[in-house]
Amino acid sequence: MKKLIIAALFTLPLFTHTFAFAAQEDQISAAASLKLNMKQIGKNLKAIVATVNDSSKNQDNAGLAQQAAEAFQAVYNQVPDVINEMPADQQPEAIKGFQQEIQKGIDLFTQLKDAFLNGDNAGAAQILKALSQLKQDGHDQYNP
């Protein structure tokens, strides 16, 4: 019995270290996922901006807008590093603000998709201006 207790005492730090490392790895993975999702959104936005006035690209642009809305949906529950670095008592309010901005992105990309599907390229151009401003504001606040 004594040997079992001693063995348990020696292996406990190994398990603790393994679980702490796994939690840290998950946090790094989440940050990478956030970055990858945002890069994909940026690529889609750039492609749409380049062809917003070409009505022959409306179907393609609607698809790109849908993909961007889905990427924003994936980002909704991810937390930017700047929030993770805040004091714990400030994080809930910051997460709420971040999620509100992400929801705006989801809504705008959904509106953009609908504008393209309805052949409203002028409306799509206006939505792109709003998305550009949202991107600027969001990056100023959550990706300094």
For 23-45, how does the pLDDT look when each residue is reduced to its tens digit (9 = 90+)? Answer: 444 444 555 689 999 999 999 99
Region class of 87: left (phi > 0), else alpha (psi between -120 and 50), else beta: beta
Q: DSSP 3-state assignment of 56?
A: helix
**By residue range, what is the domain housing residue 101?**
32-142
Buried/exposed code over 48-57 (b: 16+ C-beta within 10 A; e: otherwise) = beebbeeeeb
Please indicate, yes or no, if residue 27 is contained in any of the structural domains: no
Q: Is 25 part of any domain?
A: no
Predicted pLDDT at 41: 95
Read off the CATH number of the domain in which 135 is found.
Answer: 1.20.120
**Is residue 74 situated within a structural domain?**
yes
Residues 30 and 17: their CA atoms lie apart, in Å, by 20
CB 51 within 8 A of CB 64: no
Sign of CA dihedral 29, 35, 37, 43: negative
Portion of the chain with pLDDT greater than 70, in percent: 78
* Residue 3, in any domain of the structure: no
Low-confidence ranges of the chain (pLDDT < 70): 1-32
Residue 63 lies in a domain: yes
Asked whether residue 104 is domain-assigned, the answer is yes
Q: In the chain, where does DSSP find H-type helix?
A: 2-51, 58-75, 81-84, 91-117, 121-142
Number of domains in the chain: 1
At 29 the pLDDT is 52
Q: How many residues comprise the chain?
A: 144
Task: Give the per-residue pLDDT at 107.
Answer: 98
d(Cα 30, Cα 22) in Å, to the nearest integer?
12
Distance CA 123, CA 115 (A): 6
Nearest to 72 by CA among 131, 136, 28: 131
CA distance 93 to 53: 39
The model's pTM is: 0.77
Asked if the structure places residue 9 within a domain, the reply is: no
